[in-house]
Amino acid sequence: MPEPASAVRVAPAVWLVDKPAGPTSHDVVAAVRRRLPRRTKVGHAGTLDPFATGLLVVMTGRATRLAPYLTGLDKTYLATMRTGWTSASGDPEGPIEAAGEPATAEAVAAALPGFVGAQRQRVPALSAVKVGGERLYRRTRRGEEVEAPERGIVVHELRLAEDHGGGRVTVEARVSSGTYMRTLVADVGARLGCGAYCEALRRTAVGGLAVADAVAPDEVGGAGGLDPRAALAHLPARELSGEEAARVRHGGAVAAGPGAPADGPVALLAGGRLVAVAQPAADGALRPAVVIEDPEPR
């Protein structure tokens, strides 16, 4: 008899998904979950707004444990700005109002370097950040006056990518995790004195993971996906002996070894496969924080 669906275990995998405009990131995850065996864990590393498209990193099985090592990576976006207008939501949802004479592409290009670097950014009023235990967008839509929190961000790169004419331009940005592109676009518009909102947004990369390698949401599941080790290629790695790998699968620590980093996560490998992600301890050992492989791998 075939194994019941509830007992089938999906191999840990990381999927690069090209999210279309419309569904939420949660919608994409829910659709993937419905196509997989019951009780399969599915998650994502970094939310995309419904109007946005592009790279959504989806994890299945035990790979969902890797989210903390993926969500903090830099993100790269293509954002289409419509200058001369403002949007209460910062995006096409609006309401949208005329705010001034649209800016030229030259004016936008000249303003962009002033936004590169570390800075404080205020969270949009219509965001999912919790304030006082409740999503900020819910309190805003009820008409409550709530001061949105600020957070530290870094804009690593910001350049003009395309001039569409009529005050519409596309900019390419590489930013730290947690950066709101809607807010960055609105801030550029304010600096120009004519207002701007994010008319379209596409995420093209998460760290070294690129949307060019992504699949459609309905192609996720079953065999395939990105090997977890490949998804964590940005982490330093240590190859384990057979005895060490067995110990790590049970949560045991191993010696850091020469050249190991003093802090930060380390990928522990056995034959090139990801067994666990460890953190350096004060005693010089590497202690597993997340174990991916079963104690007795199949």
Q: Which of 16, 23, 20 is nearest to 45 (CA)?
A: 16
Give CA angle at 210 (208, 215), nearest 5°: 140
**Distance from C-alpha of 271 to C-alpha of 61, rounded to nearest angstrom:** 21
- 75: which 2 tokens? 């993100």
On whether the CB atoms of residues 123 and 150 are closer than 8 A, the answer is yes
Amino acid in the structure at residue 66: L
Q: Choose among 100, 77, 53, 83: nearest CA to 163.
A: 83
Residue among 183, 191, 275, 195 nearest 237 (CA): 275
Among candidate residues 264, 193, 268, the one with its CA nearest the CA of residue 238: 268
- Within 178-218, residue ranges assigned H as helices are 181-192
Q: Tell which residue, 223, 224, 221, 211, has the closest CA to residue 20.
A: 211
Catalytic residue among 18, 27, 49, 227: 49
The CA distances from residue 154 to 148, 158, 227, in Å, are 19, 11, 29
| Residues 159, 170 contacting (CB under 8 angstroms) | no
Q: What whole-number distance in Å separates Cα of residue 56 and Cα of residue 265?
A: 23
Q: Is 49 a catalytic residue?
A: yes
Backbone angles phi, psi at 189, to 5 degrees: -60, -40
Instruction: Show which residues are catalytic.
Output: 49
